[in-house]
């Protein structure tokens, strides 16, 4: 069946509960939840240890596990997938879904009151950083020593596990993601009409954005199109990807033997200059710093904008909604964009987009922990991973050429599978689930570009490093740079003004962060 295989000390204060994570960084999920969802049922306590499925007698009492996780759809999924997983794993599962856009608040409140369930998903990498104080306080189980006892869990990639360690110890399982799937999605029909080839350089991207704005690519004789659709996200929106094409370090970079933040490098300034050039030319939505992802997507799918820089995997949903409005539209993907000196580079995530923690307040002893880990060991078998990621064969997908071809009923799959898909640990080459079968040419190219991107990916050299000051003040300090970046692009701040904001960042704790990161790097 296999396819291709510090929040300071978090005995949290009420002030922290109210807002420390509220300003957490961007989420890279495909969608944001738009309506609240209550938990399906009260937390169930875990039970005794459970052996892997192949060794579990039918009469063994199901292991009861409660799982809290963010919901990236507008509605809580029905029990279709949950029921199937329970049969395959001899478990009784209670999923507590909470909307992704308010998930940090729920996470904080539950942590403060000791009411986290046995399995607690975080939201993203930024949330994980914020939880390290609680981890150090001993509020979660260390699981590293147990993984060798589980045949599937022991397959998780060591490099990615290392990126999630805290003080050299492993407390989490990770939800794997391709290292570098960022790129360009554009209107090929517009490009063809204007005689433009696929962009090869950053200058080409800028030229295309301007042409899509100025040269009437939709042929209606009106000045009603723009080049780039962007949103209020400097990471998963256009900026970080464009910056990486220009050689900007990924969060941290090395200079004269010292690690420094990305915004202290000249390439960061150059990237802001490019974004400013596009905005000054009115070749993008002028209010992008106040634009949500939903509105960004609408700019593209309505036929108004012709460029989208972000996850190339978004091309399927963008195309689906675009052709409803513009039936003749043709989309394409592009990556491997060269910088000014002809070099190729792009940024990489640390191999995961979220992690799972196991609270000691809910899991009372080692036997109970092993029972919960046994469930995740089973999740990492092809049979269970496919159900959770793809759904039920014949209903949500079919197998074509050894790959999973998603059903044309996207709404059904979104409603029934998406909530569980986002929770699958590992990746196809560790859990054996099917890789995707795609028919949209732009998505096929996106998958190929993703593999090529890995060869030129810029890793974050500080991904596994830690700074107590960053854990305490990182989110607050990051807002200084984020605001300064937007102001620079909007023309409200010049280079000297931006550098003054860097000095502010340094004086308020940034210098200490640099010192601590470098100390950790040399341990």
The string of DSSP codes covering 31-82 is ----S----SSPPPPP-S----GGG--TTSPPEEEEEEEEE-SSS---SHHH
Distance, in Å, from the CA atom of 205 to the CA atom of 278, rounded to the nearest integer, reads 10
**One fold for 63-178+351-433 and 182-347+460-464:** yes
Q: Is 55 exposed, middle or buried (0-12, 13-18, 19+ CB in 10 A)?
A: exposed
Predicted confidence at residue 59, as pLDDT, reads 67
Six-digit token pair at 139?
Answer: 């509020």
CATH placement of domain 63-178+351-433: 3.40.190.10
126: number of Cβ within 10 Å: 20
Q: Is 230 exposed, middle or buried (0-12, 13-18, 19+ CB in 10 A)?
A: buried
Predicted confidence at residue 464, as pLDDT, reads 84
Predicted confidence at residue 310, as pLDDT, reads 97
Q: Which residue has the tokens 């690690």?
A: 259
Task: Using DSSP bridges, classify how beta strands 352-357 and 173-176 pair: parallel, antiparallel or unpaired.
Answer: antiparallel
Could you report how far apart the first and last alpha carbons of the chain are, in Å?
44
Task: Using DSSP bridges, classify how beta strands 226-229 and 403-406 pair: parallel, antiparallel or unpaired.
Answer: unpaired
Predicted confidence at residue 471, as pLDDT, reads 83
**296 and 406 in contact (C-beta within 8 Å)?**
no
Q: Is the dihedral of CA 140, 146, 151, 156 positive or negative?
A: positive
**179 and 28 in contact (C-beta within 8 Å)?**
no
Burial readout 303-320 (b: 16 or more C-beta within 10 A, e: otherwise): bbbbbbbbbbbbbbebbe
Predicted confidence at residue 58, as pLDDT, reads 53
Q: How far is CA 246 from the centre of its chain?
A: 22
Q: Which of 158, 323, 262 is nearest to 517 (CA)?
A: 262
Q: Is the dihedral of CA 84, 86, 89, 95 positive or negative?
A: positive
Predicted confidence at residue 101, as pLDDT, reads 84
**120 and 357 in contact (C-beta within 8 Å)?**
yes
Domain boundary assignment for the chain: 63-178+351-433, 182-347+460-464
CATH placement of domain 182-347+460-464: 3.40.190.10
Distance, in Å, from the CA atom of 505 to the CA atom of 477, rounded to the nearest integer, reads 6
Predicted confidence at residue 473, as pLDDT, reads 92
Distance, in Å, from the CA atom of 486 to the CA atom of 501, rounded to the nearest integer, reads 12
Q: Which of 11, 129, 134, 117 is nearest to 65 (CA)?
A: 117
Predicted confidence at residue 32, as pLDDT, reads 33
Distance, in Å, from the CA atom of 474 to the CA atom of 481, rounded to the nearest integer, reads 11
Distance, in Å, from the CA atom of 483 to the CA atom of 498, rounded to the nearest integer, reads 10
Distance, in Å, from the CA atom of 71 to the CA atom of 90, rounded to the nearest integer, reads 24
Tens-digit pLDDT string for the chain (523 aa): 434 333 333 323 323 223 333 333 333 333 333 232 333 333 333 333 344 444 444 568 999 999 999 998 889 999 999 999 999 999 999 999 999 989 999 999 999 999 999 999 999 888 998 899 899 999 999 999 999 999 999 999 998 999 999 988 999 999 999 999 999 999 999 999 999 999 999 999 999 999 999 999 999 999 999 999 999 999 999 999 999 999 999 999 999 999 999 999 999 999 999 999 999 999 999 999 999 999 999 999 999 999 999 999 999 999 999 999 999 999 999 999 999 999 999 999 999 989 999 999 999 999 999 999 999 999 999 999 999 999 999 999 999 999 999 999 989 999 999 999 999 999 999 999 999 999 999 999 999 999 999 999 999 999 888 898 998 898 899 999 999 999 999 999 999 999 999 999 999 999 999 999 999 999 8
Contacts of 409 (CB under 8 A, 6+ apart): 396
Q: Which residue has the tokens 């009603």?
A: 224
Predicted confidence at residue 19, as pLDDT, reads 34
Predicted confidence at residue 5, as pLDDT, reads 36
Six-digit token pair at 417?
Answer: 């599978």
């Amino acid at each position: 069946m296999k396819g291709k295989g510090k929040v300071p000390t978090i005995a949290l204060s009420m002030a922290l509960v109210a807002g420390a994570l509220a300003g957490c960084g961007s989420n890279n999920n495909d969608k944001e939840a738009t309506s609240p969802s209550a938990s399906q049922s009260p937390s169930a306590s875990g039970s005794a240890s459970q052996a892997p499925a192949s060794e579990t007698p039918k009469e063994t009492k199901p292991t009861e596990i409660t799982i809290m996780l963010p919901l990236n759809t507008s509605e809580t999924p029905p029990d279709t997938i949950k029921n199937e997983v329970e049969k395959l794993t001899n478990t009784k599962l209670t999923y507590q879904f909470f909307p992704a856009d308010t998930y940090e608040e729920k996470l904080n409140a539950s942590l403060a009151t000791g009411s986290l369930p046995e399995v607690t998903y975080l939201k993203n990498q930024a949330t994980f950083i914020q939880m390290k104080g609680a981890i150090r306080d001993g509020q979660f189980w260390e699981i590293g020593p147990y993984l060798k006892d589980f045949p599937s869990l022991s397959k998780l990639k060591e490099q990615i596990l290392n990126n999630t360690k805290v003080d050299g110890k492993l407390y989490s399982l990770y939800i794997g993601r391709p290292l570098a799937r960022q790129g360009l999605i554009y209107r090929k029909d517009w490009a063809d009409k204007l005689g433009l080839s696929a962009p090869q350089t950053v200058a080409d991207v800028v030229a295309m954005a301007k042409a899509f704005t100025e040269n009437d690519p939709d042929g209606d004789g009106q000045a009603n199109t723009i080049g780039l659709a962007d949103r209020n996200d400097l990471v998963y929106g256009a900026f970080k990807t464009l910056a990486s094409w220009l050689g900007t370090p990924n969060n941290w970079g090395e200079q004269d033997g010292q690690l420094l933040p990305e915004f202290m490098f000249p390439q960061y300034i150059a990237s802001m200059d490019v974004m400013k050039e596009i905005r000054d030319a009115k070749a993008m939505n002028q209010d992008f710093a106040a634009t949500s992802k939903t509105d960004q997507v609408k700019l593209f799918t309505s036929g108004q904008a012709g460029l989208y820089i972000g996850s190339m995997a978004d091309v399927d949903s963008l195309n689906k909604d675009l052709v409803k409005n513009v039936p003749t539209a043709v989309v394409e993907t592009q990556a491997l964009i060269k910088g000014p000196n002809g070099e190729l580079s792009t940024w990489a995530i640390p191999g995961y987009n979220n992690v799972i923690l196991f609270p000691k307040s809910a899991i009372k002893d080692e036997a109970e922990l092993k029972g919960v880990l046994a469930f995740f060991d089973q999740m990492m078998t092809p049979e269970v991973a496919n159900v959770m990621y793809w759904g039920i064969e014949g209903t949500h997908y079919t197998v074509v050429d050894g790959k999973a071809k998603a059903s044309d009923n996207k709404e059904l799959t979104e409603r029934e599978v998406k909530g569980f898909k986002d929770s699958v640990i590992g990746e196809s080459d560790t859990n054996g689930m099917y890789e995707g079968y795609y028919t949209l040419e732009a998505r096929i190219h996106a998958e190929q570009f993703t593999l090529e991107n890995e060869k030129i990916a810029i890793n974050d050299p500080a991904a596994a490093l830690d700074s107590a000051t960053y854990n305490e003040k990182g989110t607050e300090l990051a807002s200084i740079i984020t605001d300064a970046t937007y102001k620079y692009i909007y023309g409200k701040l010049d280079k000297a003004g931006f550098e003054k904001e860097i000095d502010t960042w340094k004086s308020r704790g940034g210098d200490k962060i640099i010192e601590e990161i470098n100390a950790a790097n040399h341990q």
